[in-house]
Structure 1
Amino acid sequence: MKRNHPVRQSMAVSGLLLAALFLLPLAVIVPFRAELFDREPPVDETEGAPFVSGELDARTTLKVLDGDTVVEMDLGTYLVGVVRAEMPASFHQEALKAQAVAARTYTLHKIQSGGNHGEQADICTDSTCCQAYISEERARANWGGDADDYEAKVETAVKETDGQAILYGGVPILAVFHSSSAGLTRAAGEVWLNDLPYLQAVESPEETDRIPNYYSRVEFTAAECKEKLLAAFPEADLSGPISGWLQNAVTDSAGSVETVEVGGVTVKGARVRSALGLRSACFDWEARDGKLVFYVTGYGHGVGMSQYGADKMAADGADYREILTHYYTGVTVDSYLPG
């Protein structure tokens, strides 16, 4: 037993040495454990740095009605959301810049004319009332793998046109726009009640083979068509054969229906388009097998800038100023600050 004592003593010493070897690094590391091992706050990799507006756009603060909530943001931040929503980010950069200036001008015109929301808000995110708007998060989800490039293009379009507006007589115009026309845009008076000197018909270089649903076909049963038309035109007489419900269409130079008789009542083609949910007022129709079949060209009201036409002009080398002064008659493009 006594002969084993040195062995046990030696093992004890070895154990202490091993423990020291393991514990010594911990003694050094523990005081700095937070710096070495603590996780940093998570980074949202779906969005980049927040957009910073240019000097002129940053001076205008908007009250934007988004659903039931009013959100305050500067003009540039709002415009980025509008351009994301209103024009495909795959379009050429000069087309996106033209869209940014058109959207800025439309917004300034809304502010100066009193808009649709009184003191509650300057503008809203409903495209049927004002302009469409989409957040960066939602846009990125739609864009997928192109999100970084597309967001950069949109932000660049807004920032590089900082404060630029389309002016007629020194005042921002009603800068309406649409997706695609039927080779010619339409004058405002052909679509709405009042004509405007800067919203006149001009040629539009659409590339029809690359525009989704440029030509569309819609058919309605007699019952469906009667319900929709009478809801919009209750004074119409649709008691006769379906083939006679729409007659005597008058078309403009672009081939769009300017006026048409619905059950004996003369109405704007734009109202028929709205009543039936057609993609544009450039339509023809026929009665077939007890149904009305409509053949439609283009998308939108056809007034102002055609977005696909703008992209074709950009592809051919036009800059945003050339695009805008082509689609809006007699205007200038210059810096503008609301008074």
Structure 2
Amino acid sequence: MLNRLSLLGLTLGWLWLMAIPSQAARLLRVAIAQRVTSIKVGTSTPGIVRDRTGRILGKIPPLDSSLGQLRGGKVVFKQWRGSQLLIEPEAGGYVWIGNGWYRGKVRLLATKSGLFAINNVDLEQYLYSVIGAEMHPHWPLEALKAQAVAARTYTLYKLKTSPSALFDMGNTVIWQVYKGLNTESLNTQEAVNATTSQIMTYSGKPILAVFHAAGGGHTENVENVWSNSLPYLRGVPDYDRDTPAYQWIKRFSPSQVSSRLGVSNVKRFISLRRSPYGRVLKMKVVGVGSSKYFTGVQLRERLGLRSTKFRVIPTDSGFTIEGNGFGHGLGLSQWGAYKLALQGSSYDRILRHYYRGVKIGQ
């Protein structure tokens, strides 16, 4: 059971959120939990429980969570059982899913691979949370607005290009980070509301509006990171200098490098190919009696590096890796947007810098 007093205090503290009107024309299905055996669900106001056809099965009291479980291929929640169950708070309330409050409703769905908890939420209200999870909510408003348009565009691009029968978006960095009310603020709501329904297009279609923390002085051409070239994802000067994500250092012992890369007694790193902006595309790792070739992305993943823009320096105790930037280096640089906004740039000017040749409109 959720702690009623603490939850009541939180709910009262969030009453101002309930008054914000929705202006969105699209409902999203966001997967909060995937392939689990159970998850806690509740509502801040009395909740209605429906079956897969929408028929009302009953009601649950407010501020009292219960486990939704997968049993015998069905969802079991309190006294109800079915292939899927929908829990809907009354009077503009919120749903508790796992360990946090969310707007909208929650659908518990039984599949052969496990239980899914899907948050059905208005697109614009979804963005209230995404902006606060992807950027600091106290950053300049123009930077937050740029992030709002980028995140909205990315969402619609994914809906168009990667349709799924179960859900539209996940809630992690693989998609966009989404944590419900926990990452909302007045600033993130203002940024979303001020740009309602605005997206970026190229040749009349929503663009792949990817973004990252910092470009390390310059963003990258998409074909140097992924396979296909896109005219709007071109490398441009970044403005992230003197930010926390601009430079980084990581140190490894020889045994750490050898175990992570599968090369015995690593002696040297030989850079074979770099992008015009300094990111590693191909590198040879030389050990005693063997060597291997890696892409920059592979090295970043295996060594836990912040970016592929790095150089390796042999030391007496192993290897020091010095790098710049944080993330894949494509599209919007969040720290760059922060610096540009501080200098007085508007959100649309920021977006047109990082995404080349795009149009911004409804």
Q: What range is the shorter-chain TM-score in?
A: 0.7 to 0.9
Matched, 1:197 2:231: yes
Structure 1 or 2: more helix by fraction = 1
Q: Which amino acid aligns with 1:153?
A: N
1:242 and 2:266 correspond = yes
Looking at CA atoms only, which structure, 1 or 2, has the larger radius of gyration?
1
Q: Percent identity among equivalent residues?
A: 34
Displacement of 1:51: 6.2
Aligned position for 2:79: none
Kindly tell me the number of residue pairs found equivalent between the two proteins. 268
Partner of 1:62: 28
Asked if structure 2 preserves the Cα contact closer than 8 Å seen for 1:65 and 1:71, the reply is: yes
Structure 2 partner of 1:123: 169
State the match for 2:135 in structure 1.
87
Match of 2:153 in 1: 105
Q: Distance in 1 between matches of 2:13 and 2:338?
A: 28
Matching residue of 1:139:
183
Structure 1 consecutive aligned stretches of length 4 or more whose deviation exceeds 6 Å = none
Q: Which residue of 2 aligns with 1:302?
A: 329
Amino acid at match of 2:283: V
Q: Are the structure 2 counterparts of residues 206 and 166 from structure 1 closer, same or farther at C-alpha, using a change threshold of 3 Å?
A: same
Provide the C-alpha distance between the structure 1 equivalents of 2:193 and 2:186, rounded to a whole number of angstroms.
Answer: 10
Residue 135 of structure 1 and its aligned partner are, at CA, apart by 2.3
Task: Return the alpha-carbon distance in structure 2 between the equivalents of residues 319 and 213 of structure 1.
Answer: 22
* Superposition TM-score, scaled by structure 2 size: 0.70
More strand by share: 2
Comparing 299-308 and 258-267, the one that deviates more: 258-267
TM-score (normalised: structure 1):
0.74
Q: Which residue of 2 aligns with 1:174?
A: 208
Structure 1 distance, partners of 2:192, 2:121, is 15
Decide whether aligned partners of structure 1 residues 167 and 227 sit closer, same or farther in structure 2, where only a CA change above 3 A counts. Answer: same
Query: 1:215: which partner in 2?
Result: 247
Q: Indicate the SS of the match to 1:158.
A: helix
Amino acid at match of 1:46: G
User: 1:176 is matched by which residue type in structure 2?
Assistant: V
What SS does the aligned partner of 1:49 have?
A: helix
* Structure 2 spans left out of the alignment, 5+ residues: 1-7, 35-116
Q: Tell me the C-alpha RMSD between the 2 structures.
A: 2.0
Unaligned runs of 5+ in 1: 1-40, 141-150, 231-237
Cα 1:283–1:105 shift into 2, 3 Å = same
Q: What's the secondary structure of 1:67's corresponding residue?
A: strand
| Alpha-carbon shift at residue 288 of structure 1 (Å) | 1.7
Per-residue CA deviations over 1:194-240 (Å, capped at 9, x if unaligned) read: 221111001111241xx22532211222222122223xxxxxxx34x
Provide the secondary structure at the position in 2 that maps to 1:59: coil
CA deviation after TM superposition for structure 1 residue 304, in Å: 0.5
Greater relative CO (CA pairs within 8 A, separation 6+): 1
**How far has the Cα of 1:290 moved from its partner?**
4.6
Deviation at 1:189, TM superposition (A): 0.8
Verify: 1:226 aligned to 2:193, yes or no: no
